[in-house]
A and B are shown apart, each in its own frame.
Chain A
Amino acid sequence: MNKDQERYQKSFQKLHLSEDFRERLDARLEKEREDKEMKKTTFLGMTRAAAAVAVCTAVFGVGGICYAADVGGIRTKIEIWRYGEKSEVEVEADGMGYTWTDENGETGGFGGVIMDENGNDVVMSAEELAEHMNNDCTLRMKDGRMILYYKNLREDMTDRISPEGTLHVHINDPLNPYTYFNFEEVTPDGSYHCSSWDKPEDGAVYIELDAAELSSEDAPAAERPENVVEGTYVISDGE
């Protein structure tokens, strides 16, 4: 190092980050992590909606989505909640997604990706998909009433949806971190958009439901709905 460099360094070494720099950086990192978590949650919500559509489509037995049973691949059995009842289905990998077949021979397809900690898209395993589907909360139109389903819970929400088409529900379920469900754009024809969060939305009033208190005995028996609505999609029976 020559003398000029020594002089220069001596002068500019007077410059230091302020004492609260680390504190501000920590705050920024915390926000960064929250944003990342929010993206992840929103993305999962989308995945669940897409998966739920596939389930409904299969209920109606639309021929177009029935997959060949002899497609090669690893088969596994998982349990999923459908219309308040648990069903065991056989799942088989099918490229980017999976096909499933229940004990009655009904089939359907589902799939999804999830962001890892580095922001990369990772194809979800059948078990992960099942877990996310099972943590989902859905609304279905049945006999002109809007029924909410969550695992084994069923609750008539028809008169609790705001005139603006919003519905906020919090379900006490220690097994699911995302139990604040915000339904928006709920319309009389039964379409809606839903997102799930780990904390309440500011200013929203939530209807509290307890997974332990509500049981299938309190709700109507599970029946195949005549007109099923999931996510932002509307699926009709063709009438």
Chain B
Amino acid sequence: MTTELSQIVAKYGDRLYAAAFNVCRQPQDAEDAVQEALISFYRSEKEFESEEHIKAWLLRVTVNAAKSMCRSFWNRNRTSYEEHMDSLTFEDPSDRTLMDVVLRLPEKYRIVVHLHYYEGYKTREIAEILGLSENTVKTRLLQSRKRLKTELEGWGNE
């Protein structure tokens, strides 16, 4: 692995995996999506303006790859996200509940929620990454917030 790619994996690997898992809800497919994104980065001759540019590009490619993985027939026969969550160690049970509630949201809501709450992107930035209109992102975020507020104690109280 090149030094640059190794640094990219160290810096963004888990972040990309979290985004891919949010879309796929399946660990093997999520890792495959991350691998696809990193291979695309390796092949790419694109000139990036900044670290932030690299991160946004990688997230976009990862999310697209993860969506493709979800559509494949093979995906239907793999480990469920509930099984994978059972293998994770959550010290605080509310952390598991939160992940479970988010992963039960429809896919189009999940990734918007993830990019906002995990990556801290604003609606305009999410719209750019996902290739959606800003209004669509706002609507999806609003709907998701309502759902999360209903199911998660103390959510949206600020």
Known: A4-B156, A25-B1, A29-B1. Is A12-B31 also a contact (CB below 8 A)? no
Tell me, yes or no, whether B142 is within 8 Å of chain A by CB: no
**What B residues does A10 contact at CB under 8 A?**
92, 95
Which residue from A11, A22, A32 sits with its C-beta under 8 Å from B96?
A11
Closest to A15 in B: B18
Q: How far is the CA of A4 from the CA of B144 in the complex (A)?
A: 13
Count the A-B residue pairs with Cβ separation under 8 angstroms: how many? 85
A residues near B35, Cβ cutoff 8 Å: 21, 24-25, 28
Q: Nearest CB to that of A36 among chain B residues?
A: B43
- Chain A neighbourhood of B5, CB < 8 A: 29
Q: How far is the CA of A212 from the CA of B51 in the complex (A)?
A: 55
Q: Does B158 contact A (CB under 8 A)?
A: yes
Complex interface bits, B140-152 against A, C-beta within 8 A gives 1, otherwise 0: 0000000000000
Give the contacting residue for A11; candidates B1, B45, B95, B156; CB below 8 A. B95
Q: Is B38 an interface residue (CB 8 A)?
A: yes
Overall SS of chain A's interface:
helix
Q: Nearest-CB distance from B33 to chain A (Å)?
A: 11
Do A9 and B27 have beta carbons less than 8 Å apart? Answer: no
Q: In the complex, which residues of chain A have a beta carbon less than 8 angstroms from the beta carbon of B43?
A: 32
- Determine the distance from Cα of A66 to Cα of B141 in the docked complex, in whole angstroms: 71
Interface bits B74-112 vs A (CB < 8 Å: 1, else 0) = 000000000000001110101110110010000000000
Task: Report whether B120 and A11 are in contact in the complex, using a CB–CB cutoff of 8 Å.
Answer: no
Is B22 at the interface (CB under 8 A from chain A)? yes
Q: What DSSP secondary structure best describes chain B's contact surface?
A: helix
A16 touches B39 (CB 8 A): no
Give the residue of A11, A16, A22, A26 whose beta carbon is less than 8 angstroms from that of B14.
A16
Q: How many residues of A contact B (CB 8 A)?
A: 26
User: Nearest-CB distance from B38 to chain A (Å)?
Assistant: 6
Which of chain B's residues 116-158 have a Cβ closer than 8 Å to chain A?
117-118, 120, 154-158
A70–B89 CA distance with the chains assembled, in angstroms: 80
- Residues of B within 8 Å of A13, CB to CB, are 14, 18
For residue B113, which residue of chain A has the nearest CB?
A8
A130-B113 Cα distance, complex, nearest whole Å: 60
Whether the Cβ atoms of B18 and A32 lie closer than 8 Å is: no
Given known contacts A28-B39, A29-B1, A32-B42, A7 and B13 CB-to-CB distance under 8 angstroms: no
**Residue pair B155, A4 in contact (C-beta under 8 Å):** yes
Residue A74 lies at the interface, judged by CB distance under 8 Å to chain B: no
Inter-chain CA distance A7–B39, complex, in Å, is 32
Chain B residues with CB under 8 A of A26: 1
Instruction: Identify 7 residue pairs between A and B in the complex whose beta-carbon atoms are under 8 Å apart, listed by A's number.
Output: A3-B157, A7-B155, A21-B9, A21-B13, A29-B5, A32-B39, A32-B42
> Given contacts A17-B31, A24-B31, could you give 17 more A-B pairs where the C-beta distance is less than 8 Å?
A4-B155, A4-B158, A5-B117, A5-B120, A8-B102, A11-B90, A14-B95, A15-B88, A16-B14, A17-B13, A21-B31, A21-B35, A22-B1, A22-B6, A25-B35, A26-B1, A32-B42
Q: Which residue numbers of B lie inside 8 Å of A, CB to CB?
A: 1, 5-6, 9, 13-14, 17-18, 21-22, 27, 31, 34-35, 38-39, 42-43, 45, 88-90, 92, 94-96, 98-99, 102, 113-114, 117-118, 120, 154-158
